[in-house]
Structure 1
C-alpha cells in the first residue's frame, strides 16, 4: 500500500501527500478515488499549494485521465461547494455551450423551452477574449441584474419558468480556483479538465437534464469536429455517471452565428428570433437545442411552432422584467460606426469566425482580463454571410464602438478574414452531429 492510498485530513501532511499524487499521475498512473477526493478538497482549502496543483494539472494535461477518474474528479469539485435545490413542479433542463462568436442562443432558447413547459435554470458567465458572455449581453438591457439569490432563482423558475443569471456563491469553488490556475499554466486545452470544469458547475445547478452545444471550427475552442466529438462524448459520459440525463450537439463555428457579434446587437437579434424572425442559422440552432431539451424533459411540444407564434417572446419579457430589466427600453447605440465594404462583386465564400470575434473584442465588446469593463454597444454586424451575393462597395461588415481609436486594431484582425468568389460555397446545416449515451 502506497502512502497515497491512505490519506490524512486535508490540513495534515499536505506537501508529501500532494507530491505522491503528482508523481502518480506524472508517471502515467491512475489516481485512486481517495487521492482525487483528498487533493481537490485540500486545494480548495489552501492545504495544497498553487505550484503543486499547477504540477498536477500539467501531469493531467500530458497523461490524461480515464472516464472513471474524470467522473470522480468532477464529483469532488461539485462536493467542494453547495448544490442548488430546485423545487418546481416543472421538469428542469439546462443547456451549456462551449462558446463561440455570435453565440446568443441562450437568450431565445431559455424562454422558448420555458414557454413549452419546462423549467430552465441557466447559470451563465461573462466573456473572456474573443468569445462573448451571456451576462454581458443581458446587462446591455437597462435595469437588468445578473446576481440572484438561490431563493430568487427558485421563485423565478416557479413563476416564469426561466432564469438566466450569474452562478451563486459557493457553487463548485474548487473549479473557480483551478480555472484561474489553468489559464496561467498552459493547461487549458485538457479534455479531462475542460469537461470536469463544465460539468461540475452544471451538475451543481441541480437540473435533471442537460443538453450540450459543443462547437467546432475557427471560432470555437475545439477547432475540429473530431476534437469536439471527443469532448462531447466525455461530457455526456460525466453527466450520465452523475445521474443527469445528458446529450450533446456538435455545431459549426467556422463562421459567426447569426449576423450580430457583440452585446446589445446580439440582444436585438435574439429579440428578432423571439418575435418570429431573425437569421436562419440562429433559428435552426435554437429549435434544434430546444427539441433536445424538451425530449429530456419528457415534453411533447413543437418548439418551432411556439417560436413562430410569439409565445416565447412573452416569456422573455416576463423573464427580463423579473430581473429588473425593461424589455421595451432602447438598447445602447455606439458612438462610432465604421463600414467595411465588399472589395469586389460576387458571392461571399467565407467569413472567419475567430477573426470577427477578435475584432469585436478589440472594439470593446469583450475583455482581456476578468476585471475589465465591456462596452454594451460595441461589436460587429455582418451584412453578408457565406453564400450571399455581394456587390463591390456595398457594406460587408459594420464595426461599432465608443472608442474610434480601436478601429485600426479591429481592421487588422479582419485582414484576410473573408473571401469573395464567383460561386457559392457548399452549404450544410448548423448541427454537425449528435452524441447520446
Structure 2
C-alpha cells in the first residue's frame, strides 16, 4: 500500500474526483492507526457527504473498514448462516422474535446488535431488561451458541471493523451521519466482518426512520444490496413503513413482552407480518425455502428456541420483567377513528420517559416507554385510553405529554391502510 497525503485525498474528493482503491485503503488504515487526524477525517467525511461516492468507491471503502479488524469465522457452525439488519425505527423489536424463529427453522443467526440512541431503540437495551441476560460474548461463545442453539444476539466484539466504530463516532458530531455511502459502508462493514453467508436488510422509511422518504430509502437499500453483491454476500432488502410505531409497545421491557407474545402465537398483526416476511426472505437465502416460519410460530418451536437462546446467555426467560413505578394514560380527546399516530413523536416521548439515551454513555430505564392502546384504523371513544406513558421518573411525564401534542389525529373519516412492506430490492443482474 502506498503512502499518501491526507490533504491530497481530501482535496480529491472535495473536487469531485473518484478515490482510487489505494487511496481508500490507505486513508482507512491510517485513520484507524491514528495517523490521519480526526479533523482531517471529518473534512473527508464532509466531502463524501457533499460529493458522494460511486458504488465502486463505496464497496472498496467498506472492504477497507472490514480489513481494519478481524472477521469472524463461522465455518464450523454446521448450518447455513443468515442475518438481518434494520436501519432503526420506533417499536422495532423484530430482531427479538425473528432470530429464534429463523433458528427454529434450521438456519444459524449471528445477530450482532447495537444500542439505541435518540428516538430509536437498541436491541441490546431491550434484552438487558431480562434478568441475568448478558450482551458481551467472546468469539468462542458466539460460535458455540450458534452451533448448539443456532441463535445469538450480542454486542460486536471490539476487533470487528474498528474503523467503523471510530468513524461512526466522528460522523455523529460532525453533521455527516446522513451520507448514504457512509451509512451503507458502516452497516455492511459490520455485517461482512460478522462472517454471515447471507443478509436481509430492513430499510425503514417514514417519520420514525432516518430515511424519511421512499426515494432516499430506495437509494440506501440499493447501496447496501450492491455492496453485499460485490463482496459475494447473498443480500436483499425490504423497504418497510415506519410512519407509525411498529406494534403497540415502544420501550425496552415493554417490547420484550410483546416479542414473547408474538413467539407465543399472538401479538400485534404488523409485528407478526413483518417477522414472518423477513424470516421467509432469510430462509430463502439460506436454501431453506421449503420451511414455513409461520408453522414454527404456531406450534411453539420458535418460543422454545427463544427460551434456549436467552438461557444460553445467562438470562432467565421465566423471570418477571421490570415494570414502571409510574403509569399515566393519555385519553382520546374525541370520539372517532384514529387516522394517524406519528412514529417520531411516540419514539421521542419514550426517550423522554427514559427508554433511550441522548449520549452513548447514558443509562436507560428498562421499564420506561409508551404503549399504543390504539393504532390507525381503530375506533376510539372520547376519554378512552389512547396511550400509556411508563416511567420511573414522574417528572418526565409532562415533557412526554408535550411531545405527543399533535402526534395523532382522530376524525370521522375511514383510514385506507398502507402496506407494511413498500418495496423489495434485489441484486442487479
Q: TM-score, normalised by structure 2?
A: 0.98
Partners of 2:136 and 2:261 lie apart in 1 by 26
Partner SS for 1:250: strand
Partners of 1:325 and 1:225 lie apart in 2 by 39
Residue 9 of structure 2: which of 12, 21, 24 is its match?
21
Alignment-derived partner of residue 316 in structure 1? 306
Residue deviations 1:52-108 (CA, integer Å, cap 9, x gap): 000000000000000000000000000000011112110000000000000000000
Alignment-derived partner of residue 54 in structure 1? 42
Alignment-derived partner of residue 7 in structure 1? 2
Matched, 1:128 2:117: yes
Alignment-derived partner of residue 146 in structure 2? 157
Partner SS for 1:246: strand
Residue 32 of structure 1: which of 15, 20, 32 is its match?
20
Partners of 2:176 and 2:402 lie apart in 1 by 29
Alignment-derived partner of residue 67 in structure 2? 79
Partners of 1:188 and 1:67 lie apart in 2 by 18
Alignment-derived partner of residue 202 in structure 1? 191
Matched, 1:117 2:92: no
Alignment-derived partner of residue 336 in structure 1? 326
User: Aligned-pair distance for 1:218?
Assistant: 0.1
Aligned pairs, number = 425
Partner SS for 2:96: helix
Alignment of structure 1 residues 303-382 onto 2, 5 Å: 303-382=293-372
Partners of 1:270 and 1:262 lie apart in 2 by 12
Alignment of structure 1 residues 19-418 onto 2, 5 Å: 19-86=7-74, 87-299=76-288, 300-418=290-408
Partners of 1:273 and 1:429 lie apart in 2 by 20
Structure 2, unmatched stretches of 5+, are none
User: Aligned-pair distance for 1:305?
Assistant: 1.3
Partners of 2:175 and 2:356 lie apart in 1 by 21
Partners of 1:90 and 1:7 lie apart in 2 by 40
Larger deviation, residues 405-414 vs 127-136: 405-414
User: Aligned-pair distance for 1:310?
Assistant: 1.4
The structure 1 segments of at least 4 consecutive aligned residues displaced by more than 2 Å after TM superposition are: none
Partners of 2:135 and 2:177 lie apart in 1 by 26
User: Aligned-pair distance for 1:264?
Assistant: 0.2
Partner SS for 2:354: helix
Residue deviations 1:122-167 (CA, integer Å, cap 9, x gap): 0000000000000000000000000000000000001111000000
Partners of 1:370 and 1:76 lie apart in 2 by 25
Partners of 1:33 and 1:370 lie apart in 2 by 33
Partner SS for 1:365: coil
Residue deviations 1:331-382 (CA, integer Å, cap 9, x gap): 0000001100000001000000000000000000000000000000000000
Larger deviation, residues 322-331 vs 301-310: 301-310
Residue deviations 1:365-406 (CA, integer Å, cap 9, x gap): 000000000000000000000000000000000000000000
